[in-house]
Structure 1
């Protein structure tokens, strides 16, 4: 990073910290947790969450995950090969979800991602390395999926990170008064740096921002 770039980053980090301090309620709400050691549940949740209302325990995405667990008879599903073997049409029926991402149903994208990951030896949550470019490529090369949901998927299985989704980017733009800012990786670096400055789990800060922006 050049001196000028570092100065810009430090300036933006200060602006973001000021925005967090002035806008987000304290203490930050607890991160609701993901699916540690439940890679199937995490993958389903991450893909179904694309442009969707998350819902409560008995509605929306979480209800779909519960239906999958009931269908496979496993409340801690942690085998991507099992998910990869699902017929996409059958999975859509199990999930009660026929929404699209890209030109595929979300169910088809889930199955394709499970096949791509298990095909390179990523079979369980413990096998998934958020920093491995091959793991990331296997996921993001599935039509309709991308880096934002990759970050969310890895967060759900335990990565201490944030997802630079629409809500998070809007908050950063608001805090910095920079409506033109739209760089996912820069926003991700900023919010992770802010979490480190505040000594909080990045997922907690991500969740607090998400709740604030959803309530506006």
Structure 2
């Protein structure tokens, strides 16, 4: 009984290992994936022990920990971080009437917020539409091809674009790289802002047309960004 249970957990661990490797190919330094890798190794070690209890409770606990670090949780964490920084920056900006007392800290928060929102938007790969993929609804297929899997993804595009606008409008006195770098390279707010807002406008006026998504502010920001 114990041997059979151990083999079942070994099989599950191997499947998880293959999924984890595919995720790490896209982002090898992500802390969530690194933690998942450690937990998975603990699961494999537990499965290999001859003294493993037949009920498999230690393996079940480790398996659950690994499963909960999957795409949905990773995407949710990036969204929460980015959205909270967006709301913080919006609140500070409105409170100070955008006459910021500390541009450097505000700039850092904007950069971190854009970074996490981009991570959230890139967590899932867009669906590649080809002859091997069948779909019944063209609008849905178009959204999936652009990496839009929910209304939260649409909102993330707009949040990201607004934060890029704030950075260029109210933190122009902060030279690139002057504050401590949180990420490996400096974000190009103009380039990122144009890209996410172009996508936002295209999906809101395309497959999401008539669904209540306004593009007025996005177009105004795009006009500003394209003249920078």
Question: Do the two structures share a fold, i.e. TM-score over 0.5?
Answer: no
Q: TM-score, normalised by structure 1?
A: 0.25
Q: Which has the higher contact order (CA 8 A, sep 6+)?
A: 1
Higher helix share: 2
